[in-house]
Amino acid sequence: MKYWISVAVFLILALAAALSGVNEYVFYAGYIVLTFVVLSTAWNILGGYAGYVNFGTGAFFGLGSYSAVVLFKALEAPLIVQIIAGAAIGAALGFAVGIMTLRLRGIFFAIATVAILFIMETLMVNWRYVGGATGLQLLRPEVMAPFGSYTRMLFVVMALLAVIAVSVARYIQVGWIGRGLRAIRDSEEAAECSGVPTLRLKLFACVVSGALMGAAGAPMPMYLSFIEPASSFSLNWGVSALAMPMIGGTGHWIGPVIGALLLGSIQQIVTVTISNEINVLVVGVLLVLFVVLAPDGVVGLFRKWARRSSR
């Protein structure tokens, strides 16, 4: 109940801000932070709950972007259709990755996800229809009624996607599915012998995670009015989507949200005040600090503190 009230308050605030006179830049930056909330939450369903580390977030994200562009170019499909298509393609790729978990675990699975990223990028580089390596300039359609600009509208759309992603992750975590995924992370053999249908659960986690990543990628071309393969399939998406849950805490749905808000905001501030290049450094340094000093993330630190003060 408390959760749903917070969700409602968040959505109302996001909408109210978008309709108010707040500076356009806030939405421009906020959109990216919210994208990271979706990506890190989606990553955590597979990486945090089930323990399968995915470095290929960019493959899902980029494929979502390209599905949107193809639909837009071919049919002038509306944004909602683009997002649904991005989610569907992301889910399909997730299914394929899920099948891989039959044979690949640990570091080998992680390496395979990087390979998938490069394969997807290469495919798009060689596809003339979507602009190949140089990319494609896109003309945004008219903005919908209550919004003053397209960026403001996209901000609200991404806020909605973030709420959907977090709600799905929360539902999975607290229920029997989450317990099964945790069992898989701890020992796949023991999970199977405790009646957990490991393959089915892993496929489920991969599909849900992939769908959310694909959906997060779909509005990106409209946000930039541009698409090109190198940034769409950048390894940085995967590194951030992994670092944020690690910093926030992987065991709880709030972990990736905290991580994304914290790291995403710092990145935006650093981009403006220092430089775009320092961004990646910030992610790296924070990740190393947390892995060494607080392996259970912000959530873990908070729990430790709560336990100490309750004594």
Partner 1 sequence: MGAPLLQVKAVSKHFGGFTALSSVSLDIAPGERFGLIGPNGSGKTTLINCISGSLRNEGGQIVFEGKEISRLPAYRRTRLGIARSFQLPRPFHTMTVLENLLVPSAYVTHLRDSEGEVKAMEILRSIRLADKAHALASQLSQVELRKLELARAMAAEPRLLISDEAMAGLAGAEVDEVLQILFDLNARGITIIMIEHIMQAVMRFSQRVVCLDAGRIICEGTPQAIVGNPDVQRAYLGA
Toward partner 1, which CB reaches closer, 157 or 177? 177
Cα–Cα–Cα angle for 17, 22, 27, nearest 5°? 70
Q: Does 21 bind partner 1 (CB under 8 A)?
A: no
- Taking CB under 8 A as the criterion, the residue among 199, 261, 262, 278 binding partner 1 is 199
Q: Among residues 189, 277, 292, 309, which is the contact residue for partner 1, using CB under 8 A?
A: 189
* Residue 210 CB contacts under 8 Å (≥ 6 apart), including other chains: 42, 60, 90, 91, 92, 93, 94, 95, 97
* Binding footprint of partner 1, residue count (CB under 8 A): 20
Binding mask 230-269 for partner 1 (x = CB under 8 A): ---------------------x------------------
3-state secondary structure of 142: coil
- Residue whose pair of structure tokens reads 């000093």 in the numeric block: 293
| Closest CB to partner 1 among residues 230, 291 | 291
Q: What is the dihedral of CA 55, 163, 225, 56, to 10 degrees?
A: 10
Contact 36, 97 (CB under 8 A): no
106 binds partner 1 (CB under 8 A): no
CB closer to partner 1, 141 vs 295: 295
Kindly tell me which of 200 and 236 has the beta carbon lying closer to partner 1.
200
Rounded to the nearest whole angstrom, what is the least distance from the CB of residue 48 to partner 1 in the complex? 11
Distance in Å, CB of 189 to partner 1, minimum: 6
Task: Report, in Å, the least distance between residue 51 CB and partner 1.
Answer: 10
Q: For the chain, what percentages of helix, strand and coil (3-state, to nearest 5) are there?
A: 80, 0, 20
Cβ at position 107, least distance to partner 1 in Å: 20
- What are the residues facing 268 on neighbouring strands? none
> Beta strands of 22-153 (E only): which ranges?
136-137
CA–chain centroid gap for 151, Å, is 19
Backbone angles phi, psi at 219, to 5 degrees: -80, -10
Instruction: List the x/- string, 57-96, binding to partner 1 by CB under 8 A.
Output: ----------------------------------------
User: What binding mask, one character per residue, do residues 154-183 give for partner 1 by CB under 8 A, x or -?
Assistant: ----------------------x--xx-xx
Q: Is 194 in the site for partner 1 (CB under 8 A)?
A: yes
Q: Which of 196, 206, 254, 286 touches partner 1 by CB under 8 A?
A: 196
User: Hey, what are 89's tokens?
Assistant: 């393609």
Taking the CA atoms of residue 144, residue 148, residue 150 and residue 154 in that order, the dihedral angle to the nearest 10 degrees is -90
Residues that bind partner 1 (CB under 8 A): 176, 179-180, 182-183, 185-187, 189-199, 251
